[in-house]
Amino acid sequence: MYVFHSRRLSLLGVLLLMTLLFWRFQRQQDPAAEIAGVESGVLPPPPVVYFSTDQWQGFEKPSDDQLKASLTPLQYEVTQHKGTERPFQNEFWNHKEAGIYVDVVSGEPLFSSLDKYDSGSGWPSFTRPLVPELIVEEHDSSFGMKRIEIRSLHGGSHLGHVFPDGPPPTGLRYCTNSAAFRFIPVDELENEGYGEFLAAFSSKE
């Protein structure tokens, strides 16, 4: 009888271990499962930002010729062809000034210096978007990897990728390209039409 119970317990242990390993394998195969943790409650959701995105509803993306004329070659390659700039050799990787980062094509407010941190990657990294509704996530299987690409909603600009290895409070790392952004300092937010975000910086003073 004792041997029977021991074998039964051993079998249950093996089944539990196999279930756990299979679950972990599935999470590793699909990085979106980790990202989805924000919505499922596994990770804290980003704060609600009261900002009207109506002004971008009628945005018309410039033609390819117009983009080539208005953007630098690097900005064009990154935003339009999913290019990646060199780590530690880009404009904002170690940028510490207070302000927001907007889409270089559309002007959509995407990230804030308040959520920026040094990830050690050599690219600008953030724990969350400034206005989550303006970020589009898409599966990216390029270069034999499974990643989540992030793009701007209206400009359609490639920004970078999001990974589930960031610090609190979100556990996410939005790894981006400097070439996808135009930076607006705090003292220019009002004049540039982004006055709604001033309060967030005032509360940090």
Percentage of residues of the chain with pLDDT beyond 90: 66
Is the predicted pLDDT of residue 66 greater than 80, yes or no? yes
**What domain count does the chain have?**
1
> For residue 83, is it within any domain?
yes
pTM of the model: 0.77
22-36, 45-59, 125-139, 159-173: least confidently modelled range:
22-36
φ and ψ of 149, to 5 deg: -80, 145
Is the predicted pLDDT of residue 19 greater than 70, yes or no? no
- 50: annotated active-site residue: no
CATH number, domain of 181, equals: 2.170.150.20
> For residue 188, is it within any domain?
yes
> For residue 114, is it within any domain?
yes
**Domain of 178?**
36-202
> For residue 111, is it within any domain?
yes
> For residue 5, is it within any domain?
no
> For residue 88, is it within any domain?
yes
User: What pLDDT score does 59 carry?
Assistant: 84
Q: Find the helix or strand (DSSP H, E) in which 149 lies.
A: strand 147-152
Q: 102, 130, 175, 200: which is the annotated catalytic residue?
A: 175
What Å distances lie between residue 69 and 55, 56, 184, CA to CA? 24, 22, 22
What Å distances lie between residue 201 and 35, 114, 185, 197, CA to CA? 27, 8, 11, 7
> For residue 15, is it within any domain?
no
> For residue 54, is it within any domain?
yes
